[in-house]
Structure 1
Amino acid sequence: MRWIAGLFLIAHGLVHLAIWLPRPDEKAPFDVGRSPFAGEVRRLAVALAIAAAAVLGLAGLGLLVAAPWWIPVTVAGAGISAALLVLTFNPWWLIGLGINAAIIVLAVQQSG
């Protein structure tokens, strides 16, 4: 089960790169570089996506090798991801926020 969870964290991080790194298509239903709160935030969104991917990838590797630091790194990665989703909020991101909340809850449960 550990390897499935570790690979899930890595994949979750990579999804951020797949969504935020490419230039948005004009036919896309929304612009991932635009914030309903702050307007154009593409550079910040890309930076957060890269950070989320790196931290979640590290968390996944830490979980795979049973490193003692995987829990706080996982919580940090899910927090960065959640911040990115809130910044570029769209109703489609509600599932992502739920995934991040579940990751945080499950990681914290493992610590106690």
Structure 2
Amino acid sequence: MITALVSTFLIAHGLLHLVIWAVPARVDQSPPFAPGDSWALSAAGASVTSTKVAATAVASVTTLLYIIAGAAAAAQSGGWAPAAVLAAASGLVLKGLWFHPWLGFGLALDAEVITAVAMNWPASLY
């Protein structure tokens, strides 16, 4: 049961990255944050277009890593933990470079993934 929950969480959390960052905003609504608005890349002189491409690329890598981690956890492979840490680190980079207060919950989830792996939780997956 725990294996299914962890796998589902990892895959769902990964897919949310792609949905939030790669799906275009609706025309009739202005999003609270945009992939073209990175405080760090804007300060470095990056264009809005290149910033959007970078956000989509990092979100795609994060999604892929979380899906790999979830699939490995479902298969009860020991490789799920390193994949989950890499995915969470990638998610932290994404949310750090494109910081917005609405992303705070995602930051906490990524930090908790790293903490759970560091504490060998859940033990049934090790």
Name the TM-score, length of structure 1 as normaliser: 0.92
Provide structure 1 residue ranges, at least 5 long, that are not aligned to the other structure: none
Cα contact 2:35–2:56 (8 A) shared by 1: no
**Partner in structure 2 of residue 29 of structure 1:** 32
Instruction: Indicate whether 1:86 and 2:89 are aligned.
Output: no
Instruction: Indicate whether 1:12 and 2:13 are aligned.
Output: yes
Provide structure 2 residue ranges, at least 5 long, that are not aligned to the other structure: 43-47
Partners of 1:33 and 1:49 lie apart in 2 by 13
1:34 is paired with a residue whose SS is coil
Cα contact 2:7–2:69 (8 A) shared by 1: yes
1:24 counterpart letter in structure 2: A
Partners of 2:41 and 2:5 lie apart in 1 by 37
Q: Write the mapping of 1:1-112 to structure 2, written as runs, cut at 5 A.
A: 1-25=2-26, 27-39=30-42, 40=48, 41-110=51-120
Quick one: percent identity of the two aligned structures?
29
How many residue pairs match? The answer is 112
2:99 is paired with a residue whose SS is coil
1:38 is paired with a residue whose SS is helix
Give the root-mean-square deviation of aligned CA atoms: 1.6
Tell which structure's C-alpha radius of gyration is larger: 2
Name the TM-score, length of structure 2 as normaliser: 0.82
Q: In the TM superposition, what is the alpha-carbon distance from 1:55 to its structure 2 partner?
A: 0.5
